[in-house]
Amino acid sequence: MELDKTAEEKAKEKEKRKELDAQAEFTKLLGTRSGGVYIPPARLRAMQAAASQDKSSPEYQRITWDALRKSITGIVNRVNVANIKLIVPELFAENLIRGRGLFARSVMKAQSSSLPFTSVFAALVAIINTKLPQVGELVLTRLISQFRRSFKRNDKVCGFSFFTSFFWMMYNDFPPFFS
């Protein structure tokens, strides 16, 4: 009888240790930036299930923020001339009010890495601006601040070319954007 209790107690302790280890690993992963950490899908689903019990917890908020960041970045990276009409409803389906900074950063990064698509990204920002003007304003504000920083550093390659091409594309092709 005592052996049974000790076996049961040991099993319970082992289960508690596993739970504490999983929670410790989860908090450790949340403390780091999630950009470079690979989490196997099964473990990620288990951690999301554990975190989704309390929607106001920082863990849940971090998971939803990372999912929003990945979603917006993926959608922006997929846009081109042929599919912009299909991409815009996907972007409006995301929480662009919460992720407007993420959208601005991903559009600016995508535009700076692929200059031939500048007109496509300008059109995307102009379309988003028609429904959510605060998002368009944020992109423009960040473009201007990036230009100022690059002007102070005298970084002609990075700041001037990216800013001027993107800014003038929006100004020339989409004048209502600036009214």
Q: Are 150 and 163 in contact (CB under 8 A)?
A: yes
Output the CA torsion sign for 60, 62, 68, 74: negative
Task: Categorize the per-residue pLDDT at 146 as very low, low, confident or very high, splitting at 50, 70 and 90.
Answer: confident
The CA distance from 42 to 14, in Å, is 21
The CA distance from 159 to 112, in Å, is 9
Mean pLDDT of 151-173: 71
What pLDDT is stored for residue 92 in this prediction?
94
When the pLDDT of each residue in the chain is averaged and rounded to a whole number, the result is 80
Task: Categorize the per-residue pLDDT at 176 as very low, low, confident or very high, splitting at 50, 70 and 90.
Answer: low
Structure pTM? 0.72
Q: CATH second-level architecture of 67-178? A: Alpha Horseshoe (1.25)
Q: Tens of pLDDT along 58-83?
A: 878 888 888 899 999 999 999 999 99
Q: Tens of pLDDT along 164-175?
A: 677 767 766 666
The CA distance from 143 to 131, in Å, is 20
Q: Which residue has the higher pLDDT, 69 or 159?
A: 69
The CA distance from 164 to 157, in Å, is 11
Q: Is the pLDDT of residue 161 over 60?
A: yes
What pLDDT is stored for residue 131 in this prediction?
92
What pLDDT is stored for residue 114 in this prediction?
87
Task: Categorize the per-residue pLDDT at 178 as very low, low, confident or very high, splitting at 50, 70 and 90.
Answer: low
Q: Is the pLDDT of residue 155 over 80?
A: no
Q: Tens of pLDDT along 83-111?
A: 999 999 999 999 999 999 999 999 999 98
The domain spans of the chain are 1-51, 67-178
What pLDDT is stored for residue 80 in this prediction?
93
Mean pLDDT of 21-49: 68
